[in-house]
């Protein structure tokens, strides 16, 4: 069998009815029931009916993405799929990876992710933070452009803009205060970026402005019991595999206000002998990034029965 990893997506791939293609699969129904019990609300109804605006709220997006990804992973195992050699998750997706690796149960992770989302939303008032995707420019030039933009506000300014998601060699996401992100977009386009696309998000995720949210999350993580990992997990913040519970907690804390080093995560996964990365959960974002990061790797999406069959065939 081909050596493969499972990777789990973050926010942005959610859609109303994203689990409908699984029909009445008992594993999906059980996963939804488990998450609904843990959160005290009907997650199945939210995913099936939306509306889109409700799914787009960070406090809903993070838990529904977690639940949808875990459901797909459980179906994979139930349908005879093999355990991956390694797992990882992009941003929020790291929590899905922690469930897949056995470090957290879904009943632990769903309320934890909801708390994380609320803390992030509370940290920066809606409309005062922003994010943008910078396309067609190397990461080092994006970092330099952010520094250049921030410097225009003066040393005493509270305006902040930082590179926060290193998605692929030609795509880096920046985040920070709205004025600083807008200025950085101007500077980066002037410096040669092909495009600077504002992202429809409600908070500047992974920027230093999320530190207050991370501090709240740290307390919650300290009260959460972590089990030993059954599958190695490459984390986003250090691009390392941790086995000590306190080190995993610390990485999750720092991940909330630190960058997602996805290009390096993919390289670390490849270094473990993996040739195929299966994106488990809604969407095809990570599968697409995989090829752009390393042409020798294969990225495959797994989000419904048809794509599950395709993955099985490709890995056989």
Residue in the structure block whose two tokens are 């959160």: 39
User: Which residues on adjacent β-strands are paired with residue 255?
Assistant: none
25 in active site: no
What are residue 162's DSSP bridge partners? 175
Q: Looking at 101, 206, 207, 307, which residue is catalytic?
A: 206
Which tokens hold the place of 316? 């056989």
Q: How far apart are CA 188 and CA 74, in angstroms?
A: 42
pLDDT digits (tens, 9 = 90+) for 143-201: 999 999 999 999 999 999 999 999 999 999 999 999 999 999 999 999 999 999 999 88
Main-chain phi, psi angles of 240, to 5 degrees: -135, 160
In the predicted model, what is the mean pLDDT of the chain?
Answer: 96
Q: How far apart are CA 296 and CA 266, in angstroms?
A: 12
- Residue from 91, 96, 101, 207 carrying the catalytic annotation: 91
Describe the chain by its helix, strand, coil percentages, rounded to 5.
50, 15, 35
Query: Of 113, 175, 109, which is closest to residue 142 (Cα–Cα)?
Result: 175
Q: Name the nearest CA neighbour of 241 among 74, 101, 134.
A: 101
The percent of residues in the chain predicted with pLDDT above 90, rounded, is 92
Residues 39-62: tens digit of each pLDDT = 999 999 999 998 998 888 888 999
Q: Tell whether pTM > 0.85.
A: yes
- What pLDDT does 222 receive? 97
Do residues 237 and 186 touch, judged by C-beta distance below 8 A?
Answer: no
What's the average model confidence in pLDDT over 287-303? 97
pLDDT at residue 147, rounded to an integer: 97
Binned at pLDDT 50, 70 and 90, residue 115 comes out as very high
Tens of pLDDT, residues 252-279? 999 999 999 999 999 999 999 999 999 9
Q: Report residue 132: phi and psi, to 5°.
A: -150, 145
Q: Please confirm, yes or no, whether 206 is among the known catalytic residues.
A: yes
The proportion of the chain whose per-residue pLDDT surpasses 70, expressed as a percent, equals 100
**Mean pLDDT across 10-21:** 91
């Amino acid at each position: 069998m081909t050596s493969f990893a499972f990777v789990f997506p973050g926010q942005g791939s959610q859609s109303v009815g994203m689990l409908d293609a699984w029909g009445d699969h008992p594993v999906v129904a059980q996963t939804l029931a488990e998450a609904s019990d843990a959160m005290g609300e009907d997650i199945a109804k939210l995913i099936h009916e939306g509306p889109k605006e409700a799914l787009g709220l960070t406090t809903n997006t993070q838990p529904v993405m977690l639940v949808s990804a875990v459901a797909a992973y459980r179906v994979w195992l139930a349908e005879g799929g093999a355990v991956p050699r390694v797992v990882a998750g992009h941003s929020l997706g790291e929590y899905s990876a922690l469930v897949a690796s056995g470090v957290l149960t879904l009943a632990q992770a769903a309320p934890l992710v909801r708390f994380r989302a609320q803390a992030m939303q509370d940290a920066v008032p809606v409309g005062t933070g922003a994010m943008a995707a910078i396309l067609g420019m190397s990461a080092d030039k994006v970092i330099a452009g952010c520094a250049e933009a921030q410097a225009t506000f003066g040393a005493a300014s509270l305006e902040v803009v930082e590179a926060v998601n290193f998605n692929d060699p030609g795509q880096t996401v920046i985040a920070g205060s709205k004025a600083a992100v807008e200025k950085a977009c101007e500077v980066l386009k002037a410096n040669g970026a092909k495009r600077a696309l504002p992202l429809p998000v409600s908070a500047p995720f992974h920027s230093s402005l999320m530190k207050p949210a991370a501090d709240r999350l740290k307390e919650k993580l300290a009260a959460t019991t972590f089990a030993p990992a059954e599958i190695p997990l490459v984390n986003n913040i250090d691009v390392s595999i941790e086995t000590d519970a306190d080190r995993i907690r610390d990485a999750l804390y720092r991940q909330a206000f630190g960058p997602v080093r996805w290009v390096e995560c993919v390289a670390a996964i490849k270094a473990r002998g993996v040739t195929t990365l299966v994106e488990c959960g809604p969407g095809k974002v990570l599968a697409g990034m995989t090829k752009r990061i390393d042409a020798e790797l294969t990225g495959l999406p797994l989000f419904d029965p048809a794509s599950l069959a395709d993955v099985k065939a490709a890995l056989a």
